[in-house]
Amino acid sequence: MPGRGRGRPRHPDVLTPAEQRVLEELRRGGTNAEIAVRLGRSPETVRTHVASMLAKLELADRYELAAWRPGRERRPLLGLMALPPALAFVRSPLIWAGVGLGGLAILAVVVLLLVFFLGGAAEPSGVPSGLTGAAMVATGDSHTCALLETREVVCWGLNDEGQTDAPAGRYRWLSAGQDRTCAVTDAGEVLCWGSTGFRRCSSYGYGRDIILCDNAEVAVSGVVGATYRSVSVSHRSTIPGSSQEGLICALRETGEIDCWGSNTIEGLEAPWGTYRSVSAGNAYLCAVRDTGEVDCWRVDDIWARRDRALRGTYDSISVGGEHICGIRDTGELHCWGNLFDARVAVPSETYRSVSTGPTATCAVRASGEVDCFGAGPTGAPPGAYRSVSVGSSHVCAIRDTGAVACWGSNAEGQASVP
């Protein structure tokens, strides 16, 4: 007697519902650990789902997976299968009628069918023309850079310090500050271009041999032998009397944090432990531990450590010019600092990501809308977004379609998406 089937029935779609949820979070960005936190799963489970999807779809890596859309690979075949009956339908009456223009009509139909079926689906209406296929976007004072799904970096806007001269290569993470940009290569190396503020090649650190090199167009930075998963560049300081040129923090693959800046800065060593994310400000640095607690160090004011604001566990944190905003694991947005008191009301919504600039903050709701508040650009174009980045005078965000939209000041072309 034939045996009875066991286990769950095979899902009719290419991906299972669990894999589809992981894919949606993968497109929002983040490591397996960050995706696991958002989904309430273990990093091992996320890693297993990613590996399964790569094998099913015969894709090379998670970047190609994030860019994949169901049905694309089947359209050309379906189009070719549809050509014979379509041609038969239009050919017979034209030939039998003996109309001299019949041949042209047939040719026109063939061309239209080829364009429709072989050219792929058209972009949805309402999507602006310009840069598409973006995985991350980063804004500085007057420049913008985007990390594409192809792992290339493109930049535009003011280039007085070389901040838009992105070196060729493949990258996994991107961050921009005042007039500098940093990215993590596929190999885990941190590269920075623009005004790094390091002045010369040297090494220092607390037994970590941090290398700062600024005698070339691109500065190779970080701890010798370490590999990194992400990097954060501080914005311009808005604190009166602050002389810091900018700080950079990078998160190692192993979870430790390294921070550096000009050679005279001291006190940048992060608390011991492992973290899931880090955000650099000119006067203070904050990071989210693997357990969800927030640590802030090298703070110039007591407000950055207010227990009232730091209670609970967080998904992410973002440090601005004089304020800090974080998203709790419940999706609530909390902001504190010199810019957030009774004058600024934080919307009571559920959010998926947040970005702080020198004086303003923008956050993406769970539903995809962007809210901006504080002293800075507001009025995001309508639509659904994945992520947002706030600069000194402009804001850029990535739509669910992968298109980049920017608004605010465009004095140096920083909001003119190529």
Q: What is the pLDDT of residues 173-187, one digit of tens each?
A: 999 998 999 999 999
Q: What is the mean pLDDT of the chain?
A: 75
| Across 36-40, 95-99, 372-376, least confident range | 95-99
Indicate whether 374 pLDDT > 80. yes
Domains in the chain: ranges and CATH:
17-67 (1.10.10.10), 75-118 (no CATH), 134-408 (2.130.10.30)
Sequence-distant (≥ 6) Cβ neighbours of residue 199 within 8 angstroms = 214, 262, 263
Predicted confidence (pLDDT) at residue 102 exceeds the cutoff of 90: no
What pLDDT is attached to residue 283? 76
Phi, psi of 12 (to 5 degrees): -65, -25
Kindly state the tokens that stand for 334. 């909390």
What pLDDT score does 289 carry?
A: 95
What's the token pair of residue 332?
Answer: 């609530």
Closest of 50, 45, 77 to residue 63, by C-alpha: 50
Q: How high is the pLDDT of residue 48?
A: 84
Q: Are strands 248-252 and 228-233 parallel, antiparallel or unpaired?
A: antiparallel
Tell whether the model's pLDDT for residue 85 goes beyond 70: no
pLDDT digits (tens, 9 = 90+) for 112-149: 444 334 333 333 322 344 688 999 999 999 999 999 99
Model confidence at 100: pLDDT above 70: no
**319-339: pLDDT as tens digits:** 988 789 999 999 999 988 776
Q: What is the pLDDT of residue 298?
A: 72
pLDDT at 404 over 90: yes
For position 73, what pLDDT does the model report? 44
Compute the distance between CA of residue 149 and CA of residue 126 in angstroms, rounded to an integer. Answer: 21
pLDDT of residue 16: 83
Long-range Cβ contact pairs of 311-317 (< 8 A, separation 24 or more): 314/288, 315/34, 315/37, 315/38, 315/288, 316/34, 316/277, 316/288, 316/353, 316/354, 317/277, 317/279, 317/286, 317/287, 317/288
In angstroms, rounded to a whole number, what is the distance separating the alpha carbons of residues 246 and 212? 13
268-319 tens-digit pLDDT: 778 889 999 999 987 788 999 999 999 988 755 444 444 444 678 999 999 9
Q: How confident is the model at residue 356 (pLDDT cuts 50, 70, 90)?
A: very high
Between 204-208, 224-228, 245-249, 382-386, the lowest mean confidence (pLDDT) is in: 204-208
Mean pLDDT of 376-388: 90
Q: At 379, is the pLDDT very low, low, confident or very high (cuts 50, 70, 90)?
A: confident
Distance CA 189, CA 170 (A): 11
- What global pTM score does this model have? 0.66
- Residue range 26-54: mean pLDDT, rounded: 77
pLDDT for residue 220: 60
Which tens digits make up the pLDDT trace of 257-281? 988 875 445 557 788 899 999 999 8
Sign of the dihedral defined by the CA atoms of residues 54, 17, 39, 29, in that order: positive
